Structure 1
Amino acid sequence: MYTIRQVSDMLDIPAVTLRAWEVRHHAVEPARTSGGYRAYSEQDIADLQWLKRQTERDGLTISQAVAELRRQRSRQPGSAAPQHGAHLADCEQLRERLYDALAAFRSDEAKTLADLGFSMYGHDTMISRVFAPLLVQVGDRWESGEASVLQEHYMTQFVTQRCFAIYQVFPVDPQQPRALAICPSGERHQTGLLLFALFLRQKGMEVLYLGADTPSDGLEALIAEQRIGVVCLSLTLAELQQGALALVERLREAQPHLQFVLGGRGFAGVPAPYEAWTLEGQTEASAAQWERWYAALREHGRPDQAGMHGGERHG
């Protein structure tokens, strides 16, 4: 349940407007606490967001929007506010507000916004349309000097922690190959790797996630003991590319059956055969590439990597 202040902050609707929508138009009817304070449910928030979109994007008055909501509800009793999927504009607005809250180190507001996004859009949309673009945005602004090192670090940590929190939610399909996810020794940027590991977990693959700055000693034995079939490496530092490719060759020699996925701008420009193993970072455009890779893995046991070139901008 959410207070009127939280809802006002999340949806960028003044509290006085929320009260007017409730009293004059019966837009929503929030519950009341024992002290008489309004307590909004997630359904209330979804309805209010839909109503706001109708008034701002489609030009309806609030009374017209409420009437339309009731008409749609009467045709489908008990249904939620008609969403027709998560609108990209809504996700962009959520991402911008989340960025602003994190840039100002307003942790409570950022947590509330993220909670709202997960409740309304689900894991897939939040990861692909909010978190992944947010990481690219903060990386770009850090490189241009618009965001400080502390802001970049704080935002990255926030996204990483939220991703780890949902990592264990997805069930594992034992019929699928196991994956190992690492950043080679010296590489400390792991958010791109984490997003790809989440993609695999959502698909039911078990992922042994070792993350940033993984030492190479003992990897061959670990891969053999844990029956790893796919090794995912993420690299942002081009100067570490030669060492990373040497590690790939070492692992291939020890376990010829291994499949590799290389992501991150540090792998940009790699020669064959490594070029065919690269996947772009998760964006709207590259999401289909990830899906094609996974579909080929499921159908043939080894992805057809032809045409799957590129490099993730922020690994």
Structure 2
Amino acid sequence: MNIMIPSNINGMYLIQQVSDMTGLSKQVIRKWEERYNLLQPKRLENGYRVYSDIDINNLLSVKALSRQGHSIKQAVELTKERSIVLDIVPDHLISIQHQETLNAYVFQLLEKGTHCDELELNLILQQAYYSFGLADFLTSVIIPFLNEVGNRWDRKEWSEYQESVSSLIVRDFLVQIRRNFQCREDAPLILGACLPHERHEIPLHILLLQFMMKGWKTILVGASPASGSVESLIGKLKPAKVLLSATTMAPFDNDPNLLKNLDQFALANKQIDFYLGGLGAIEYAKNKTLLAIRVTNSIEETLS
């Protein structure tokens, strides 16, 4: 059964939905509920159990802790202790703590992503966007969802098709937001570019949207651009800032001189601020000395 029940503010989900959202089997969910008293489901009039957002976050917490080496019993105890802390944390710290939990929109995206339901994924993204506003939509929905998608792909819980459908739907949705975003003609320009052989462009979409909210015009050079095309476009457009991105090591494996050449190009264009980010880039550059490119994963640094 895969029927979405109208949610209250805390969420109400059937066990099959919870299984889709967490990647745990229904048998494991029932076992953790009965053996460890981890969950507090309610019952509908027809006898079906329904679970809340809190229940789902607790399941995900135990799952993550168990993968870190804790026994299930230890993971449950740590999760319960964390729940107590969240209950008593002062109001002004709730937003900090909230970053460790997922919300109902992320759960629904995970459920629909499990079934590769493109229409529902788009509808949920649309609802979340209008509910949160762009800034919180990116930080509270898009980033947590993509992180979980990546985790499930890495753990082989999701197939390549499930991962690609979810990622492409998010990418296309962010593209539409950027296309419809209005900027002043005299706004400063920032160019975001994947490095050659880098195919993960979604992080750049997120960064550029965050810049647009600060009044910047943006241009994106998407996945795996041709060698030399980024430098050519920079020379033509003369942006104030350039964000270079590599989530993987592919750009540097394919061209060992790439970073050195880009740094020399940046040095010759000192009027432009160059930044390099992404897990692959940071890992590759950690023992390299760069003259003109700043390596960072901090949006605050690039905005400064």
| TM class by smaller structure | 0.5 to 0.7
SS state at 2:223 partner? strand
Aligned partners of 2:107 and 2:163: how far apart in 1?
15
1:93 aligned partner: 104
1:104 and 2:115 matched: yes
1:268 aligned partner: 282
Percent identical across equivalent pairs? Answer: 21
2:153 aligned partner: 142
SS state at 1:213 partner? coil
Taking structure 1 as reference, are residues 180 and 216 closer, same or farther at Cα in structure 2, changes over 3 Å only?
farther
Taking structure 1 as reference, are residues 223 and 268 closer, same or farther at Cα in structure 2, changes over 3 Å only?
closer
1:8 aligned partner: 6
2:300 aligned partner: 291
Aligned partners of 2:291 and 2:135: how far apart in 1?
29
1:213 and 2:224 matched: yes
1:156 aligned partner: 167
Q: How far has the Cα of 1:290 moved from its partner?
A: 1.8
Mapping of residues 49-128 of structure 1, within 5 Å: 88=98, 92-128=103-139
Mapping of residues 179-190 of structure 1, within 5 Å: 179-190=190-201
Contact 2:263 2:292 in 1 (8 A): no
Q: Deviations over 1:141-175 (max 9, x none)?
A: 11111111111111110110110111033332455
SS state at 2:122 partner? helix
Contact 1:216 1:247 in 2 (8 A): no
1:277 and 2:294 matched: yes
SS state at 1:214 partner? coil
Structure 1 stretch displaced more, 168-177 or 253-262: 168-177
SS state at 2:259 partner? helix
Taking structure 1 as reference, are residues 254 and 153 closer, same or farther at Cα in structure 2, changes over 3 Å only?
same
Taking structure 1 as reference, are residues 117 and 88 closer, same or farther at Cα in structure 2, changes over 3 Å only?
farther
Aligned partners of 2:261 and 2:146: how far apart in 1?
27
2:42 aligned partner: none
Contact 2:267 2:292 in 1 (8 A): no
Contact 1:178 1:205 in 2 (8 A): yes
Contact 1:171 1:204 in 2 (8 A): no
1:248 and 2:262 matched: yes
* TM-score, with length taken from structure 2: 0.62
Aligned partners of 2:183 and 2:232: how far apart in 1?
23
Aligned length: 216
Mapping of residues 3-42 of structure 1, within 5 Å: 8=6
Taking structure 1 as reference, are residues 143 and 259 closer, same or farther at Cα in structure 2, changes over 3 Å only?
same
Runs of 5+ in structure 1 lacking a partner? 15-51, 54-83, 281-288, 297-315
2:245 aligned partner: 234
RMSD: 3.2
Q: How far has the Cα of 1:274 moved from its partner?
A: 7.0
Q: Deviations over 1:226-283 (max 9, x none)?
A: 1222111111222523444134224224423221121111112412337972332xxx
Aligned partners of 2:237 and 2:8: how far apart in 1?
44
1:46 aligned partner: none
* TM-score, with length taken from structure 1: 0.60
Taking structure 1 as reference, are residues 134 and 274 closer, same or farther at Cα in structure 2, changes over 3 Å only?
farther
Aligned partners of 2:302 and 2:199: how far apart in 1?
26
2:236 aligned partner: 225
Runs of 5+ in structure 2 lacking a partner? 14-51, 54-93
Contact 2:113 2:162 in 1 (8 A): yes
Aligned partners of 1:143 and 1:92: how far apart in 2?
22
Aligned partners of 1:100 and 1:141: how far apart in 2?
13
Taking structure 1 as reference, are residues 204 and 240 closer, same or farther at Cα in structure 2, changes over 3 Å only?
same
Q: How far has the Cα of 1:7 moved from its partner?
A: 7.8
Taking structure 1 as reference, are residues 167 and 175 closer, same or farther at Cα in structure 2, changes over 3 Å only?
same
Bigger relative contact order, structure 1 or 2 (CA pairs below 8 A, ≥6 apart): 1
Aligned partners of 1:147 and 1:196: how far apart in 2?
26
Taking structure 1 as reference, are residues 268 and 218 closer, same or farther at Cα in structure 2, changes over 3 Å only?
closer
Residue 160 of structure 2 aligns with an amino acid whose one-letter code is: V
Q: Deviations over 1:185-230 (max 9, x none)?
A: 1111111121111111221211111111011334444223212221
Residue 178 of structure 2 aligns with an amino acid whose one-letter code is: Y
1:18 aligned partner: none
